[in-house]
Structure 1
Amino acid sequence: MPAPGPTGGGLPTWWRSSLRVRVITSTMALGIVLVLLLFNLLFAQIAQGLVGQAVDTASRDAAQRVRQAQEQFDAIDRRDNSSLNNTAFDVVGAVAPADQQTRAVLARSIGNDREAIISTNTSSDIGLGDVPMQLREALEAEEGTQQLMVTEVELGEGQPMPSVLIGSRVDIPRAGAYDLYLVYPMAREQETLDLVRRWFVVGGLGFLVLVGGVAWLASQMVTAPVGRAARVSQELATGRLDERLPVTGSEDELDRLALSFNTMADSLQNQIRQLETLSQLQQRFVSDVSHELRTPLTTIRMAGEVLHASRDEFSGPVARSAELLYGELGRFEELLTELLEISRYDSGAADLEMDRVDMVGVVNSAVAGVATLARHSGSTMTVHSSRPSLPVDMDQRRISRILRNLLGNAIEHGEGRPIEVAVGRDDLAVSVSVRDHGIGLDAEQLSHVFERFWRADSARTRTTGGTGLGLAISMEDAKLHGGWLQVTSRPGEGALFRLTLPQAAGSVVPEPPPPVLPPAPRPATEAPEPDRTPVRQVTTPSRTEESR
């Protein structure tokens, strides 16, 4: 049966089926991680350097502008509220001219409780609300020290701009302590960072393309020879034993791999050819010996029949010898017949003589043929059929042989217990099951049950003879019909063999039928029932017919 496809919960097929994809994808993933780490590290260092430089420049410039503002306030002659407000307005305009990016805010300090009040003066696109309260409180706490903060400030209607805010304390005559805040937008620094970011993105993409190309080239150098090895291996598996890997002569690891692979392929080819030669010789030997023994066996058989017919005229020991000779000649003839049949299968010369035959009748004939043997062993046989008649296209001789082998095997190993034979069908196939309740087989024995010349217990006393080829020939006969022969068993619970055949000639049963049910438990009683009938037939409707 074909292997099941990948399930939805597993890895994608493209990942599991391609070494090259895994190499390139893994390398690209590591490259992306490396690029991101380098980008973050370098960008942080550049940004820190730009911000530090902007802060230093702003601190020096703010100190100078605050000194100028304080000098202007100290030089005031008129100190009324109107004059103070005009002076404050002029100071703000002087420290933050309109033609420069610097902004200024002059506001009453938090702790100032003087009566003279100067209104808050600011540049055109900024207000006191843009100054963080944290900065105002820090300036109040340490009024003699310049306070600094880097934050985003919304200038006018534009986007928030990273800026350096510096707050300083100025003393206005009569008005008291006022805070002067200078805002230095870092527009140029932001443009520099944007430019660096763009170049980093371009460089990162270029680096990833380079890494991907290198990974593809490296994977190509490795996966191409591996792919060739895989293709050559598949060709060898299909029987093309002359396929080999090319050897470049570079003497690298892949070249040594190719040399080792070719050496292994040569060795396998030689061994397979030797095995084929031995197999052909073996088949030829078996066929020739079987045919050559036919003529002398026929002569011996005729002489043995004459002796057997005249055994009453001999003394006791001689008469018994004649009977033994006659019986062993029959077994020898059976062995030759089976060897010839095996040789036909090995040479591909086996064919079918198909006829439309009633399977139930064939089963009943096979059961009747072994009824005497079943009576001697103490077993009763019951035939269950879903219908009185089941016509099937078959080679009756071969199917009868299969049934005789299965029934003989059940009688031999059934230990005198009942044997059930079931005949059933569905829309496409017909099946015959033979169940015994004897010694059964373990898992190890089940794996060898259809092998040639194999017996479950070679030391066991046999009552039906047998060559060890019966089940092997039965398996070949079932396959020749396009069917299946299956078995299941448990030690001490008997065995169940099931033959499945297509109903129509030329068709096959493509998939093995569902697993055979385990044998039924051994009957509670070991002793045979008195006066029981050796063969009994029961017709029961199949499950399909019952559902109808």
Structure 2
Amino acid sequence: MNPSAAATTPSAPANQPRGLFDVLARYFKRIRTTWISSLTLRTITLIVVGSVIAMMLTGAIIVNQIKSAVYSQTVSLNIEQFATDAQIAQDRFGVTSSPTTAQSQRIALELVSSMYDPARGLIGAVLLRSPGQVNPDSAILEPATATTTKVRSLVTDELREAVRSGDHIAWQSVAIANPDGSTQPGIVIGTQITVPASGTYELYAAYSMQTQEDLLGTTFRALALAMVGLIVIISLISWIVMSLVLKPIRAASQNARLLTEGDFNSRMVVHGSDELAQLGKSFNTMAESLEEQFTRLERMSAIQTDFVSAVSHELRTPVTTIRMAGQLIYDKREDLPPALKRSAELQHSQLNNLDAMLSDLLEISRYDAGGMSLVGEKADIAEIARQVIKLSEPLALDNGVIVELDVTGDTEAEVEPLRVERIIRNLVVNALEHAEGRPVKVSIVGGRTAIAVQVQDHGVGISPEQAKQVFERFWRADSSRVRKSGGTGLGLTIAREDALIHGGKLEATGELGVGSTFLLTLPRSPGAAFTKPLALEPPQPYVIPELEPASGAVSEPEPLLVDSGVAAASEASVATAVLIDDETVIPAVHSVDNTVADSPGSSDSPAATEAKNE
């Protein structure tokens, strides 16, 4: 015998209840889901349950009334028949004034023998001598009908006491035993009879109620079948009515889905002039209104798009000419007086902003026209990010911001490098402008199916409501904020479109006063399904590091150590700390690059870092 098999055998019964519980849980969950999602099922069920309860209450009342009436009528008839038989017996005993004991015995035997008529429910009788009488010598024997029913055993002491207590007829319900061991309902009726020269006797007759019981059983079965048939009919009628009522509602739901999908030609078929027809007419009116409004908005949007595209194209040539002329003036600014030199610099800056604005407008108009196509090639997204950070160093210096780059995993994917560069540049520049001098971290993680680029700052931050609008055109969280790098308000909109054309996703979250997080996720192949390597989470509150006071006006530069979590700490240079009026001021610092190699064969060593200082 296999010991392991023997050891695992007892665990099977223990797992069985759990498996049964899971099956029942799934079954009830499926029922609950069906119940919640089906108005027809709920309505028919409630109607049927209400009908069943009503019919059961009504049936119980009817059956009780019928049963009471049948039993009362049958008992009354049996008592009348018994009273007649008892009176006839008393008359026969009184025919002879002084009968002998033998005569009285013969009359008694004939009496109980004649009291057997199954057709009218009479199944036997017995004549019993009343106790407490003297003169036992003249007493007759207590005869009983010779049948299988033992009438003597059905007579109870309570019934005999009731018969002796007065000159009237008394009766009692009993269960009569059948030869097969079963019982049938019945009654025993008794009264007193005087036998001359023998004393007082008690006459008891047993009547069967089985015929009435069978009649009531047939009635109950007929009522039950009628109830079942009625329930079926009610269910069928309810289903038909619900189908008729819900048909236009389902049609309205289907047409509403078509409207949400852009099919504004969908209409409901209207029959008659009832409430459902009014619903159809109202829906059709709404659909026509939506179609008109959408057509008008679509026409206005097309006009606006054509206008922006046309103006952008028409302005491109004169702006280029003005830029060329301005560039000549800017190049000779050192030969100009101070006032003209400043004007030349301002002109050069604003012409650059105007050119960028026109480029953004042309780009967004191309997206609106649906004329964009992706030219993909293998590229290292981490390397693209490094180039973007390097080009953004002047803005980082101007804002006094540290940029930290953290790379993990294989970051190569099939993308269009220029579009990815534009996305990362928009995110990095946006973070630098709103970081308020606090560090900005760029994290790049290569997953199995996608690559994530996360740009996180600890500046003014955005609220969850603002995060939903940050990618809308020309939207700014604070319109009064002065942007140092210019911009049109289209940068994040274009970045999102660039992410979507790759089949990726660009998301944002944050918290006011804490910072913001932008997460770009790109599949390794355009349009492929992917799982996000990073989750979108708001930044943690920034804790300003405590610095030791400098021992002079200028301190020696010290390296900044950054731990990537996998490799050793990397080295980066920082600007010198200057002590001014007992306050330590740290000027701008350059980017800190913490790169974790994906494999030994990667171009970056397992703990490679780069420090850029200028």
Is 1:232 matched with 2:255? yes
Q: The residue matched to 1:464 in structure 2 has which SS?
A: coil
Match of 2:126 in 1: 106
Picking from 68, 81, 98, the partner of 1:48 is 68
Picking from 321, 326, 348, the partner of 2:370 is 348
How many angstroms apart in 2 are the aligned matches of 1:513 and 1:172?
A: 113
Q: The residue matched to 1:121 in structure 2 has which SS?
A: coil
Match of 2:282 in 1: 260
How many angstroms apart in 1 are the aligned matches of 2:178 and 2:187?
A: 13
Picking from 109, 116, 133, the partner of 1:96 is 116
Deviations 1:517-536 (A, max 9, x none): 22122123498874774111
Greater mean deviation of Cα atoms: 101-110 or 364-373: 101-110
Match of 1:221 in 2: 244
1:109·1:140 contact (CA, 8 Å) conserved in 2? no
Instruction: Give the TM-score, by structure 1 length.
Output: 0.87
How many angstroms apart in 2 are the aligned matches of 1:480 and 1:132?
A: 101
Is 1:144 matched with 2:171? no
2:408·2:596 contact (CA, 8 Å) conserved in 1? yes
Match of 2:392 in 1: 370
How many angstroms apart in 1 are the aligned matches of 2:458 and 2:484?
A: 17
Counterpart residue type for residue 278 of structure 2: R
Match of 1:448 in 2: 469
Q: How much does 1:401 deviate?
A: 0.9
How many angstroms apart in 1 are the aligned matches of 2:200 and 2:73?
A: 30
How many angstroms apart in 2 are the aligned matches of 1:243 and 1:96?
A: 85
Q: How does 1:302-321 map to 2 (within 5 A)?
A: 302-321=324-343
How many angstroms apart in 2 are the aligned matches of 1:315 and 1:129?
A: 145
Counterpart residue type for residue 537 of structure 1: D
> Using a 3 Å threshold, how does the CA distance of structure 1 residues 60 and 100 change in structure 2: closer, same or farther?
closer
Match of 1:407 in 2: 428
Counterpart residue type for residue 65 of structure 1: D
> Using a 3 Å threshold, how does the CA distance of structure 1 residues 376 and 145 change in structure 2: closer, same or farther?
same
Q: How does 1:65-80 map to 2 (within 5 A)?
A: 65-71=85-91, 77-79=99-101
1:118·1:175 contact (CA, 8 Å) conserved in 2? no
2:122·2:208 contact (CA, 8 Å) conserved in 1? yes
Q: How much does 1:155 deviate?
A: 3.3
Deviations 1:469-494 (A, max 9, x none): 11111111111111111222111111
Match of 1:3 in 2: none
Q: How much does 1:500 deviate?
A: 1.0
- The answer to which structure, 1 or 2, has the higher relative contact order (CA under 8 A, 6+ apart) is 1
> Using a 3 Å threshold, how does the CA distance of structure 1 residues 369 and 120 change in structure 2: closer, same or farther?
farther
2:159·2:172 contact (CA, 8 Å) conserved in 1? no
Greater mean deviation of Cα atoms: 188-197 or 113-122: 113-122
Picking from 420, 440, 448, the partner of 1:419 is 440
Q: Which runs of 5+ in 1 are unaligned?
A: 1-5
1:483·1:508 contact (CA, 8 Å) conserved in 2? no
Greater mean deviation of Cα atoms: 514-523 or 275-284: 514-523
Counterpart residue type for residue 472 of structure 2: E
2:176·2:184 contact (CA, 8 Å) conserved in 1? yes
> Using a 3 Å threshold, how does the CA distance of structure 1 residues 99 and 226 change in structure 2: closer, same or farther?
closer
Is 1:291 matched with 2:313? yes
Deviations 1:199-257 (A, max 9, x none): 33444344334434433443333222223222322322222212222233x32222222
What is the number of residues matched between the two proteins?
533
How many angstroms apart in 2 are the aligned matches of 1:109 and 1:374?
A: 128
Identity %: 32
Match of 1:433 in 2: 454
1:135·1:148 contact (CA, 8 Å) conserved in 2? no
Counterpart residue type for residue 274 of structure 2: D
How many angstroms apart in 2 are the aligned matches of 1:176 and 1:391?
A: 125
Match of 2:9 in 1: none
Match of 2:491 in 1: 470
Q: Which runs of 5+ in 2 are unaligned?
A: 1-25, 548-583, 599-605, 607-614
Q: How much does 1:176 deviate?
A: 5.5
Match of 1:359 in 2: 381
Picking from 31, 37, 55, the partner of 1:35 is 55
Q: How much does 1:156 deviate?
A: 3.0
> Using a 3 Å threshold, how does the CA distance of structure 1 residues 282 and 152 change in structure 2: closer, same or farther?
farther
Q: The residue matched to 2:513 in structure 1 has which SS?
A: coil
Counterpart residue type for residue 282 of structure 2: S
Q: The residue matched to 1:521 in structure 2 has which SS?
A: coil
1:232·1:243 contact (CA, 8 Å) conserved in 2? yes
